[in-house]
Amino acid sequence: MSNEATRHVYIIGSKGIPAKYGGFETFVEKLTEYQEDIQIQYHVACMTENSAKSGITDKHFEHNGAKCFNIDVPNVGPAKAIYYDVAALKYAINFSKSNEDRAPIFYVLACRIGPFIEKYKKQIQNLGGKLFVNPDGHEWMRAKWSYPVRKYWKYSEGLMVKHADLLVCDSKNIEKYIQNNYKRYHPKTTYIAYGTDTSFSILTENSPEVIEWFKMKEIHENNYYLVVGRFVPENNYEAMIESFMKSDSKKDLIFITNVEMNKFYEKLRRTTNFEKDSRIKFVGTVYNQDLLKYIREKAFAYLHGHEVGGTNPSLLEALASTKLNLLLNVGFNYEVGDNTAIYWEKDSLTEVINSSEKLSENQICKYDSSSTKRVVEIFSWSRIIYSYEKLFVE
């Protein structure tokens, strides 16, 4: 196909593909893996160190038909991601220029490089190209960042909104927030959700990895509440632990998360005394995706305490796989779960846990089928990819 007829799309801001983990990484993996429209040529920026994990050392390589390029990133501390995005965008613009692309699109994931974007926006315009931005969630609200870093995120977000030709929001609540808070820039926005895999686990109760994991962790199928997510304060670990400890449940509460014995862990230990409650188990991470899916499927219920951010991948996975979902009552979560889940406030979770155990099998089955149906109809990767391809080609 001639360069004239091809739509070149440069994706900046994920760590790269092949994807090992992470929301944006999985998104880029699926976008390229399930590509239908052959008019589109994807170009994906990758961190050299990320590619090395897959044994890739070449500067340029192909994956899922996408042309990938590695960017070396020095370890400059918290500014590492900013350095990477700027270097990747600069490289992509120069590559596009030498390639003589017609109307290229540069799709930047997250709002890290606002203070630098004006210069690159002019270069993109000179190529006859467009700048698309995914604003992600409320990164500036995350407790893990210090006050100066949060200030930078907010400032940077405003400049990305100002210079973007289009903001692709994966949450209607984020789209509303952009429209309300940045009216002065007259932002052009569109909503395309994040996607998830809707297939069942290929493992069974007799699979060796299943037997080994449940035995080692001393956990029984259908007898635990599950939490999967980053180990950060804004995911409300404290509220979930305290509420569960006050409940009458005989089941376990298990956390699949990257626990580091850091200040946050110490604070949780001190404030909740969870180590005295044998039901509460931090079981580490699970990288085997089929095993993780099986663990979701066999949970009594999924507990979701995420308070900040757009469409959360772990929530979509839970709605697709877990029978019963108990979600923190915030706009982001309600937008995804709608009436297929049960919602809790921080002061009502104990009550919600107790009452959920009184639900009949039939009631739980209704929640299960309605949440799975919702994910298949709205959040399956095939639907998301179709929407993106339509957007890029038009």
Residue 202 lies in a domain: no
- Closest alpha carbon to 168 in 136, 120, 216: 136
The pLDDT tens digits of the residues spanning 74-86 come to: 998 878 999 999 9
> Which residues form the domain of 233?
208-378
The pLDDT tens digits of the residues spanning 40-91 come to: 999 999 999 999 999 999 999 999 999 999 999 999 887 899 999 999 999 9
Residue 57 lies in a domain: yes
Confidence (pTM)? 0.88
Number of domains within the chain: 2
Could you tell me if 287 and 223 lie in one domain? yes
Angle at 75 (CA atoms; ends 73, 79), nearest 5 degrees: 85
Q: What is the pLDDT of residue 1?
A: 46
Could you tell me if 385 and 336 lie in one domain? no
Residue 201 lies in a domain: no
**Any idea which residue has 């820039």 for tokens?**
185
Could you tell me if 132 and 270 lie in one domain? no
Could you tell me if 72 and 214 lie in one domain? no
Could you tell me if 49 and 187 lie in one domain? yes
Could you tell me if 33 and 166 lie in one domain? yes
Could you tell me if 169 and 233 lie in one domain? no
Residue 326 lies in a domain: yes
Q: Which alpha helices (H) appear in 164-274, and where do they start and end?
A: 172-181, 208-217, 237-246, 263-272
Q: Can you give the CATH number for the domain in which 319 is found? A: 3.40.50.2000
The pLDDT tens digits of the residues spanning 275-297 come to: 999 999 999 999 898 999 999 99
Q: What is the pLDDT of residue 342?
A: 98
Could you tell me if 165 and 228 lie in one domain? no
Residue ranges in the chain modelled with pLDDT below 50: 1-2
Residue 47 lies in a domain: yes
Could you tell me if 288 and 299 lie in one domain? yes
Could you tell me if 262 and 308 lie in one domain? yes
Could you tell me if 37 and 17 lie in one domain? yes
Sign of CA pseudo-dihedral 65, 69, 74, 77 = negative
